[in-house]
Amino acid sequence: MIEIKTAAELEAMRAAGLVVARTLALIAEHAKPGVSTADLDQIAEQSIRDAGAVPSFKGYHGFPGSICASVNDQIVHGIPAPTQVLADGDLLSVDCGAILEGWHGDSAISLHVGAASAADHALSEATKAAMWAGIAAIQPDGRLTDISHAVQTEALAAGERDGVSYGIITEYGGHGIGRQMHMDPFLPNVGKPGKGPRLRVGMALAIEPMLTLGTAETEELDDGWTVLTADGSRAAHWEHSVAITDSGPWVLTAPEYS
Ligand code: MG
Ligand code: MG
């Protein structure tokens, strides 16, 4: 069963999404050489709690942080640590979740610490473009894997443009979101279109491609969390929580523009 939200419930999810968006914007300002990922975690937790929300990651199956901070060859689920001090040229992916009034927001960005290499910049842009292609493929009465297919197609097209064969991580993917962070359905980042559950107004999904500069094979550190590329190549991760409305996708974790 996929949770269907009313318009008022989606408004409540947008409020949670904004807490996440503002927190990630704050993290982006502070992700500088010499700053540790534990410093960023503290900033994130404060930002979330100041908004009257709760960091959803903290304590999730025992996860110790309020953000996942994944550096360079770490793909996702990196544990913030005082010993993980950011250096010029690092590629940092930050995943953040918040619960406000019982509703979840979940979003991730990749950031360049100091100067970015051309390859890292292209990787992050390709991952972001794949996310947006997935979002653009959402339509009421469409099917779930329309999104998967759009993500994969854009990742491959970006690779063609950039002259790189990006690894597309398939062990992890998107998910339903609402009263819980991870809900049905699982959303693969690859696949043929036209399969899986039918998309309905009132559903909300997290769209989150992860691409690498090399392999799509992953390894997990013995901390039980950190997922890294098996070949040491760098990875990027972008994510938005998106609602399906009558007029199309509504990006619940998008920043506000004034
Ligand atoms: Mg996330
Ligand atoms: Mg997610």
Summarize pLDDT for 211-226 with one digit per residue, the tens. 999 999 999 999 999 9
Which amino acid would we find at residue 7? A
Q: Which helix (H) or strand (E) holds 126?
A: helix 118-136
Predicted local distance difference test score (pLDDT) of residue 258: 59
The band of 230, judged by pLDDT with boundaries at 50, 70 and 90, is very high
The token duo for 69 is: 């901070």
Query: Of the ligands numbered here, which is closest to the C-alpha atom of 237?
Result: 1
Q: How far is the CA of 175 from the centre of ligand 2 (A)?
A: 6
Please give the C-alpha separations between residue 192 and each of 66, 152, 167, 203, 213, in angstroms, as whole numbers: 35, 9, 18, 21, 23
Query: Of the ligands numbered here, which is closest to the C-alpha atom of 109?
Result: 1
Q: Is 73 in contact with 120 (CB distance < 8 Å)?
A: no
Q: How far is the CA of 174 from the centre of ligand 1 (A)?
A: 9
As a whole number of angstroms, the distance between CA 38 and CA 258 comes to 31
Q: How far is the CA of 46 from the centre of ligand 2 (A)?
A: 21
Q: How far is the CA of 143 from the centre of ligand 1 (A)?
A: 22
Q: Is 91 in contact with 73 (CB distance < 8 Å)?
A: no
Domains of the chain, first to last: 7-251 (3.90.230.10)
Query: Of the ligands numbered here, which is closest to the C-alpha atom of 95?
Result: 1
Do the bridges between strand 74-76 and strand 227-229 make them parallel or antiparallel, or are there none, so unpaired?
Answer: antiparallel
Q: How far is the CA of 255 from the centre of ligand 2 (A)?
A: 17
The band of 257, judged by pLDDT with boundaries at 50, 70 and 90, is confident
As a whole number of angstroms, the distance between CA 140 and CA 199 comes to 5
160-187 mean pLDDT: 98
136-156 mean pLDDT: 97
Q: How far is the CA of 27 from the centre of ligand 1 (A)?
A: 15
59-67 own/partner pairs: CB under 8 Å, 24+ apart: 60/181, 63/225, 65/41, 66/41, 66/96, 67/27, 67/37, 67/40, 67/41, 67/94, 67/95, 67/96
